[in-house]
Protein backbone atom coordinates (compact mmCIF):
# COMPACT_ATOMS: atom_id res chain seq x y z
CA UNK A 1 0.00 0.00 0.00
CA UNK A 2 2.82 2.43 0.87
CA UNK A 3 4.59 1.90 -2.44
CA UNK A 4 1.33 2.30 -4.36
CA UNK A 5 0.72 5.61 -2.61
CA UNK A 6 4.26 6.87 -3.26
CA UNK A 7 4.29 5.71 -6.88
CA UNK A 8 1.00 7.50 -7.52
CA UNK A 9 2.25 10.69 -5.84
CA UNK A 10 5.34 10.74 -8.07
CA UNK A 11 3.17 10.57 -11.21
CA UNK A 12 1.80 13.99 -10.22
CA UNK A 13 5.20 15.72 -10.31
CA UNK A 14 5.35 18.99 -12.18
CA UNK A 15 1.66 19.87 -11.67
CA UNK A 16 1.55 23.54 -10.78
CA UNK A 17 0.78 24.98 -7.38
CA UNK A 18 -2.59 26.65 -6.96
CA UNK A 19 -3.86 28.01 -3.65
CA UNK A 20 -6.95 26.00 -2.70
CA UNK A 21 -6.25 23.59 -5.57
CA UNK A 22 -7.21 19.94 -5.22
CA UNK A 23 -7.27 18.53 -8.77
CA UNK A 24 -4.48 17.86 -11.29
CA UNK A 25 -6.32 19.79 -14.00
CA UNK A 26 -6.31 23.03 -12.00
CA UNK A 27 -3.29 22.56 -9.72
CA UNK A 28 -2.70 21.68 -6.08
CA UNK A 29 -1.94 23.38 -2.84
CA UNK A 30 -0.06 21.24 -0.32
CA UNK A 31 -3.03 19.76 1.53
CA UNK A 32 -5.04 19.35 -1.68
CA UNK A 33 -2.17 17.35 -3.15
CA UNK A 34 -1.90 15.07 -0.08
CA UNK A 35 -5.67 14.59 0.07
CA UNK A 36 -5.87 13.77 -3.67
CA UNK A 37 -3.04 11.22 -3.44
CA UNK A 38 -4.58 9.38 -0.49
CA UNK A 39 -8.07 9.37 -1.98
CA UNK A 40 -7.06 8.20 -5.45
CA UNK A 41 -4.35 5.71 -4.49
CA UNK A 42 -5.66 4.02 -1.33
CA UNK A 43 -9.26 5.28 -1.09
CA UNK A 44 -8.81 7.25 2.15
CA UNK A 45 -10.30 10.73 2.56
CA UNK A 46 -8.14 12.99 4.72
CA UNK A 47 -9.12 16.39 6.16
CA UNK A 48 -8.90 19.28 3.73
CA UNK A 49 -6.19 21.45 5.33
CA UNK A 50 -2.69 20.81 6.68
CA UNK A 51 -3.49 21.84 10.26
CA UNK A 52 -6.36 19.32 10.39
CA UNK A 53 -4.25 16.63 8.72
CA UNK A 54 -1.67 17.18 11.47
CA UNK A 55 -4.21 16.11 14.10
CA UNK A 56 -4.89 12.65 12.64
CA UNK A 57 -2.85 9.52 12.96
CA UNK A 58 0.02 8.59 15.24
CA UNK A 59 3.11 10.71 15.80
CA UNK A 60 6.19 9.16 14.20
CA UNK A 61 9.77 9.76 15.27
CA UNK A 62 11.93 11.15 12.49
CA UNK A 63 14.15 8.06 12.62
CA UNK A 64 11.11 5.77 12.18
CA UNK A 65 9.43 7.47 9.22
CA UNK A 66 8.23 5.21 6.43
CA UNK A 67 7.02 5.79 2.90
CA UNK A 68 3.56 7.39 2.97
CA UNK A 69 3.86 9.10 6.35
CA UNK A 70 2.85 12.74 6.37
CA UNK A 71 5.52 15.35 7.10
CA UNK A 72 4.54 18.75 8.49
CA UNK A 73 6.08 22.20 8.55
CA UNK A 74 5.48 25.61 10.13
CA UNK A 75 6.09 28.14 7.40
CA UNK A 76 4.04 31.04 8.76
CA UNK A 77 3.64 31.63 12.48
CA UNK A 78 3.03 28.97 15.11
CA UNK A 79 0.51 26.72 13.39
CA UNK A 80 1.22 23.92 10.96
CA UNK A 81 0.87 25.41 7.49
CA UNK A 82 2.47 22.91 5.10
CA UNK A 83 2.33 19.15 4.50
CA UNK A 84 4.01 16.63 2.25
CA UNK A 85 4.29 12.86 1.84
CA UNK A 86 7.46 11.11 2.95
CA UNK A 87 9.01 8.95 0.23
CA UNK A 88 12.26 7.42 1.50
CA UNK A 89 15.88 8.22 2.37
CA UNK A 90 14.98 11.69 3.71
CA UNK A 91 12.96 12.70 0.65
CA UNK A 92 9.38 13.95 0.52
CA UNK A 93 7.00 15.05 -2.23
CA UNK A 94 4.76 18.11 -1.95
CA UNK A 95 3.20 21.06 -3.70
CA UNK A 96 5.44 23.84 -2.33
CA UNK A 97 4.20 27.32 -3.19
CA UNK A 98 3.01 29.77 -5.81
CA UNK A 99 5.08 29.69 -8.99
CA UNK A 100 6.32 26.16 -8.29
CA UNK A 101 5.15 22.64 -9.10
CA UNK A 102 4.76 19.35 -7.24
CA UNK A 103 8.32 18.32 -6.49
CA UNK A 104 10.59 16.19 -4.37
CA UNK A 105 12.81 17.77 -1.73
CA UNK A 106 14.99 16.58 1.13
CA UNK A 107 14.04 17.03 4.78
CA UNK A 108 17.64 17.94 5.60
CA UNK A 109 17.72 20.82 3.08
CA UNK A 110 18.24 24.01 5.09
CA UNK A 111 14.84 25.60 4.50
CA UNK A 112 12.81 22.44 5.12
CA UNK A 113 14.93 21.34 8.10
CA UNK A 114 14.38 24.74 9.73
CA UNK A 115 10.58 24.55 9.38
CA UNK A 116 10.05 20.81 10.02
CA UNK A 117 7.53 20.11 12.82
CA UNK A 118 7.13 16.36 12.71
CA UNK A 119 5.57 13.36 11.04
CA UNK A 120 2.28 11.53 11.42
CA UNK A 121 1.16 8.11 10.24
CA UNK A 122 -2.47 7.96 9.08
CA UNK A 123 -4.28 4.97 10.61
CA UNK A 124 -4.64 3.29 7.21
CA UNK A 125 -0.82 2.91 7.13
CA UNK A 126 -0.42 1.58 10.68
Report pLDDT digits (tens) over 13-60: 999 999 999 999 999 999 999 999 999 999 999 999 999 999 998 999
User: Which class for 75: exposed (0-12), middle (13-18), buried (19 or more C-beta within 10 A)?
Assistant: middle
* 82 annotated active-site: yes
Q: Is the pTM of this model over 0.75?
A: yes
Alpha-carbon dihedral angle through residues 14, 7, 52, 45, given to the nearest 10 degrees: 110
* 40 annotated active-site: no
Measured CA to CA, the distance from residue 107 to residue 91 in angstroms comes to 6
Catalytic residue among 22, 55, 76, 94: 94
**pLDDT tens digits for range 67-107:** 999 999 999 888 999 999 999 999 999 999 999 999 999 99
* 76 annotated active-site: no
Catalytic residue among 55, 76, 82, 115: 82
Amino acid sequence: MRELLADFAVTLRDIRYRRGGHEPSTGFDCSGFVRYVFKHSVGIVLPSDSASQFHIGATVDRTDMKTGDLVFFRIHGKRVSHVGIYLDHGRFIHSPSSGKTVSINRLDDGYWAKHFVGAKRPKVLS
